[in-house]
Structure 1
């Protein structure tokens, strides 16, 4: 199986945009800039069925300052010297090519388009119907791919599989029997270039409890309804505003699904906050989410019990601060490791 691309100085690398404007979508845009800095012509390719939504959010514009680095899917040159990178949710698009080198960047395992995906819903007749609908939709997509391409999913052994984090790397090896290579993206330079000292981080902070409303959970909803603490949503903020809020706050909560390591836990802990997460998916892997186990909780835990732990973490922020040093050190070294991994996968052979 391939673990490295065979690129030349004049290779063009296309990165498929799938319309995601979260951390995974930003990682794809950031990859374009990083490859360009390595000397390649790297382009963001919009899907032809997504041309009406080619609006680029402000936080992504720094990655595509030159309009010539944007193209449509139909503009991609299917040549052996070129390469296309797609996220795991869009491997079906690879069927359209014959010659180009291919890489799949697994930023999640939950959303792989080659497997059946359905939500775990509470028991009940209508929820069972929805589950059946999800499965029927998957079967339909498989049949369409088989009729159109002769296969129900694109063969992953024909591409370079890139793991976006350790948890998905384990899944690809054990479940799919692949030989992936790691490429774990760092937090943004806006955060890395504003590193704070331990002394600054341990100064007096406010009893703010931050959360991400875009990653909802029933537990978080219950805590918000009970309103025992000063909860502040992280929303509609630029990096400077986020850093200012992080540096005066004590605790970040994330009980969302954790399909990947998530950026906000890393960005908040790097700015001196302590973190509590739900013990779900990627968050169960210490190599990806280096939160001490006593601060990783089952999302079915009663909210009143979680509130006791929140209270403890707020009252003892300074005392438990160094329990998160391993996490902060990991974030500190991620950028260096990322560029080493990038060179190993995309390094020019000329």
Structure 2
């Protein structure tokens, strides 16, 4: 629980202009903090971009600021991909929150930090004496000992934090916007086609596709949100053997549009808590399993009306995500006098 006084400001850090799952979650957080009575703002990085709000997120009506009030009562929420505020002077007095929207992207953000440090002599001593000027690498060991609130986004990130002895203050996931649910058209005729995300899949899916030339494989790429919904509305199956750094957006979109799902077990995808689908539809990337996977795909195409029933519990959970999101915020952020 994070105690926040009535006059406090909450700054939610976010990359400027970018439209991906992480930034949308950060806009959702700001939007609902405001609805629950908090004085919350987006703070974009870099903070000198003339128009930092991506048009897709204007619906959240989240105000932004380029000015920070570095006071102990105020709070800064940062994604795990941007941790310099842990040491920067302009945030030094604020309460600090890390929202672990993913796991692997945390390690990716450390790489340029490591590269900078490796080129400087006596950096360890300098960072010990003056961490604001020479910020040390924010390793999990350091984070675990800092006065920081860690929020987990997925069960995958919760398991990761617990394994590394990082204390968890609470949980907040994100949710699929109602506008996407509204794009579902139940009377649309479905084609015998199988969708996949070419940006997230690799060699294993290529082997499956090569072994099933009779199946109509369709890549989901270069489409607007409306285009994605229209394509999914006319398809029967979505296959995804990519790595899931957190709760991925496209599998949730496929479920909402009532596609049968055949999923790998990399990252959050292996956890029923993050993707509650029957284990029948979840596979390890094992070449010996390829014939079984292809047979299941064909069965889903031939018997779609029966298989799609297995995904109704997940569809219901997705429909309730926003309600859960609001409750999780209320449980974690406590307004005090």
TM-score, reference length from structure 2: 0.83
Name the counterpart of 1:259. Answer: 245
CA shift for structure 1 position 54: 5.4
Aligned residues of 1:64 and 1:70 also touching (Cα < 8 A): no
Indicate the larger mover: 145-154 or 33-42.
Answer: 145-154
Instruction: Describe the shift of the 1:146–1:338 C-alpha distance in structure 2 as closer, same or farther (beyond 3 A).
Output: farther
CA shift for structure 1 position 283: 0.8
Indicate the larger mover: 276-285 or 5-14.
Answer: 5-14
Equivalent position to 1:220, from 179, 199, 205: 205
Name the counterpart of 1:271. Answer: 257
3-state secondary structure, aligned to 1:43:
strand
CA shift for structure 1 position 259: 0.7
CA distance in 2, matches of 1:287, 1:137: 36
Name the counterpart of 1:87. Answer: 79
Aligned residues of 2:193 and 2:217 also touching (Cα < 8 A): yes
Matched, 1:311 2:289: no
CA distance in 2, matches of 1:77, 1:53: 21
Residues 215-247 of structure 1, C-alpha deviation per residue, up to 9 Å, x if partnerless? 232223445566543223333434333333222
CA distance in 1, matches of 2:234, 2:79: 36
The gaps in structure 1 that reach 5 residues or longer are 118-133
Aligned residues of 2:183 and 2:226 also touching (Cα < 8 A): no
Alignment length, in residue pairs?
321
CA distance in 2, matches of 1:187, 1:294: 25
CA distance in 1, matches of 2:154, 2:281: 21
3-state secondary structure, aligned to 2:106:
coil
3-state secondary structure, aligned to 1:268:
helix
Residues 36-84 of structure 1, C-alpha deviation per residue, up to 9 Å, x if partnerless? 2223332221224x7459554332232347xxx2234xx2211122111
Instruction: Describe the shift of the 1:115–1:180 C-alpha distance in structure 2 as closer, same or farther (beyond 3 A).
Output: farther
Name the counterpart of 1:174. Answer: 163
Name the counterpart of 1:158. Answer: 147
Aligned residues of 2:31 and 2:61 also touching (Cα < 8 A): yes
CA shift for structure 1 position 305: 5.2
* Matches for 1:1-350 after TM superposition, within 5 Å: 4-18=1-15, 20-48=18-46, 51=48, 55-64=52-61, 69-72=63-66, 75-96=67-88, 97-113=91-107, 137=115, 140=118, 147-148=126-127, 149=131, 151-153=136-138, 155-156=143-144, 157-193=146-182, 200=186, 205-223=190-208, 227-301=213-287, 306-350=293-337
Aligned residues of 2:4 and 2:335 also touching (Cα < 8 A): yes
Indicate the larger mover: 289-298 or 142-151.
Answer: 142-151
Instruction: Describe the shift of the 1:145–1:78 C-alpha distance in structure 2 as closer, same or farther (beyond 3 A).
Output: farther
Instruction: Describe the shift of the 1:55–1:135 C-alpha distance in structure 2 as closer, same or farther (beyond 3 A).
Output: closer
Instruction: Describe the shift of the 1:114–1:295 C-alpha distance in structure 2 as closer, same or farther (beyond 3 A).
Output: closer
Aligned residues of 1:172 and 1:180 also touching (Cα < 8 A): no
CA RMSD of aligned residues (A): 3.1
CA distance in 2, matches of 1:161, 1:146: 27
CA shift for structure 1 position 95: 0.8
TM-score, reference length from structure 1: 0.80
Indicate the larger mover: 95-104 or 234-243.
Answer: 234-243
